[in-house]
Amino acid sequence: MALHLRGTVLPDGTLRDLWILGDRITFDRPTGEARTVADDGFLLPGLVDVHTHPGSRTEEEARWDPDAFAEQIAAHRDAGTLALRFPGLLGEIPDGLREAPDAPRMVTAGRWLAWAGLSKSADFHLVTDDLVAAAVAETEAHDGWCKLMGDWDFEADPVPYDVLRTVTEAVHAVGGRVAAHCQSAQGVLNAARAGVDSIEHGMGMPEECVELMAAQGAAYVPTLTAFARSAATRIKDNPRSRLWHEGHRIMIRRVREAHDAGITVLAGTDSAPFGNVATEVEHLVAAGLPAAVAVGAASWAARDFLGLPGLVEGGLADVTVYDADPRLEPGVLRHPRRMVLRGRVVR
């Protein structure tokens, strides 16, 4: 039996009827019976967190726990986050979970890849002296993405531009895309010049990076939720913390500049609690994004970026229903009234 929903379809804002047949959406009324599961409200393509790392019990201990992974992606789903990108996982997704009918859609990028010359690499990094081969292998083994560490601390030199450029060209040659962790000014600049597909974090991003990213079509994923929380706990009277706070202020400024330059800004939390992408939307609004753009950063724009069709003819059957328009009241994202995932009602 088909499912039927009626409401204001976002982002176009048109009051419409849509039907779900299997895992696809249609606007043409099908023959046979249909069960109405929503008859008013605002219909949104299911929320997306484009930067999340489930799979550990604590943030301090980088140890893969498949049970924690299952619990944390369920927390995402229960909050209406119906698609996830993992730019770095500590282990393999448990068999059967990726395609489970109640599991969010998942886009993986394999392990965090750290160049052997990058100092102070963390325990969870996959350190390699052949970054090109490792990046291509991770890209081909996962969903067309790899995750590079462009830098790791403020004091040490970042990965050189020529290394990042060579890796990026090799990944692009096999049809893949590169997400780059960057939190130092030179690290962000090297990654932007190298033509990576998404800058993750971007603390200390030099102004010139905005033009570079716009010209190359790179997306910006600032993960403000994680950095706002971290900045609040850091003492401000030592050099490293001062760099951190200044970098956080620069990130906030660059969000609006990136949007104004035509760069796609996307919502990623990079932190617990899982299922908290609504907070990232609120941070993006506070940084100066129009509310509709900030909501899109966690919904239709994110899905388009990941190749997951939204509420269009033949699109994926992931729908969240809200009582109010989230473009006017972003806080309503915390309270989905109805959720359909993979064509099944999960709330």
Distance CA 229, CA 249 (A): 13
Tell me if 19 sits within 8 A of 30, measured CB to CB: yes
Tell me if 161 sits within 8 A of 193, measured CB to CB: yes
Distance CA 242, CA 3 (A): 54
pLDDT score at 236: 65
Residues 140, 19 within the same domain: no
For the chain, list residues with pLDDT below 50.
none
Q: What is the pTM of this model?
A: 0.96
pLDDT score at 239: 73
Residue 64 dihedral angles phi and psi, to the nearest 5°: -70, 130
- Which two structure tokens, joined as six digits, stand for 21? 């047949």
pLDDT score at 235: 64
Residues 12, 65 within the same domain: no
Average pLDDT, the chain: 95
pLDDT score at 245: 82
Q: Which residues pair with 135 in a beta bridge?
A: none
Each residue of 161-184: pLDDT tens digit?
A: 999 999 999 999 999 999 999 989
Residues 247, 338 within the same domain: no
Count of domains observed in the chain? 2
Residues 60, 203 within the same domain: yes
β-strand 319-322 against 338-341: which pairing, if any?
Answer: antiparallel
Tell me if 94 sits within 8 A of 66, measured CB to CB: yes
Residues 6, 134 within the same domain: no
Residues 253, 124 within the same domain: yes
4: three-class secondary structure by DSSP: strand
Q: Does residue 40 come out as left (phi exceeding 0), alpha (psi in the -120 to 50 range) or beta?
A: beta
pLDDT score at 232: 66
**CATH label of the domain that carries residue 336:** 2.30.40.10
Give the rounded percent of residues in the chain with a pLDDT score beyond 70.
Answer: 98
Domain of residue 28 covers 2-44+309-345
Residues 170, 236 within the same domain: yes
Residues 66, 122 within the same domain: yes
